[in-house]
């Protein structure tokens, strides 16, 4: 789960008996992942089937009252705590990766991009933005990038 959870996407998820991992988006209340049995990986890592997953939730701050939003200085401090992983689950993308730099709400994070470039996870899965298919970014160095909205089956091999 990559945040901004729509009820149609989560209906019945609590009953699924597979590992469920994710991060909260900027529109998700605290506890939203717990409510559907998803382990929140924000700034944490866990292993499933020999694959290490880590998470980075929230989005760039675009409103004073917005929940689960961060400034770029806060993002720098958070990514310093982000553990290495084979798969990074992020709500908002790194800068220059399926983002919209002209839109305060949908710009990517330079700090997150620096982390991906330094740690080179095999996969980066993100949500939050609505990338133009003609300009979609699918690779950042050796890291494969997948934008996910709703659900998307992937084979991480």
Average pLDDT value for the chain: 93
> Does residue 157 form part of some domain?
no
What is the C-alpha separation between 157 and 154, in angstroms, rounded? 9
31 in any annotated domain: yes
- Closest C-alpha among 20, 16, 28 to residue 46: 20
Can you give the pLDDT at residue 57?
97
2 lies in a domain? no
- pLDDT of res. 9: 79
Please report whether residue 154 resides in a domain.
no
How far is the C-alpha of 121 from the C-alpha of 53, rounded, in Å?
A: 9
Q: Kindly write down the DSSP assignment for every residue of 63-122, as one continuous string.
A: STT-SSEE-HHHHHHHHTTPPP-SEEEESSPBTTSS--TTSTTTPPBHHHHHHHHHH--S
Residue 6: band (very low, low, confident or very high) from pLDDT cuts 50, 70, 90: confident
User: What total number of domains does the chain contain?
Assistant: 1
Asked, for residue 114, whether it belongs to a domain, the answer is yes
The CATH code of the domain that includes 135 is 3.60.21.10
Percent of the chain with pLDDT over 90: 76
Is the pLDDT assigned to residue 150 strictly greater than 80? Answer: no
The verdict on residue 63 lying in a domain is yes
The reply to whether 156 falls in a domain is no
Mean pLDDT of 94-107: 94
Indicate the pLDDT class of residue 64, thresholds 50, 70 and 90.
confident
24 in a structural domain: yes
Domain that holds residue 88: 7-147
């Amino acid at each position: 789960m990559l945040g901004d959870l729509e009820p149609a996407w989560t209906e019945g998820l609590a009953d699924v008996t597979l590992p469920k991992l994710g991060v909260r988006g900027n529109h998700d209340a605290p506890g939203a992942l717990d409510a559907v049995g998803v382990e929140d990986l924000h700034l944490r890592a866990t292993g499933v089937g020999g694959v290490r997953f880590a998470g980075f939730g929230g989005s760039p701050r675009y409103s004073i009252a917005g929940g689960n939003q961060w400034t770029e200085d806060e993002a720098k401090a958070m990514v310093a705590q982000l553990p290495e992983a084979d798969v990074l689950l992020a709500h908002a993308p790194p800068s220059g990766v399926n983002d919209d730099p002209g839109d305060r709400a949908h710009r990517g994070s330079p700090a997150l991009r620096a982390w991906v470039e330094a740690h080179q996870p095999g996969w980066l899965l993100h949500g939050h933005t609505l990338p133009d298919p003609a300009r979609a970014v699918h690779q950042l160095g050796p890291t494969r990038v997948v934008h996910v909205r709703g659900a998307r089956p992937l084979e991480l091999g």
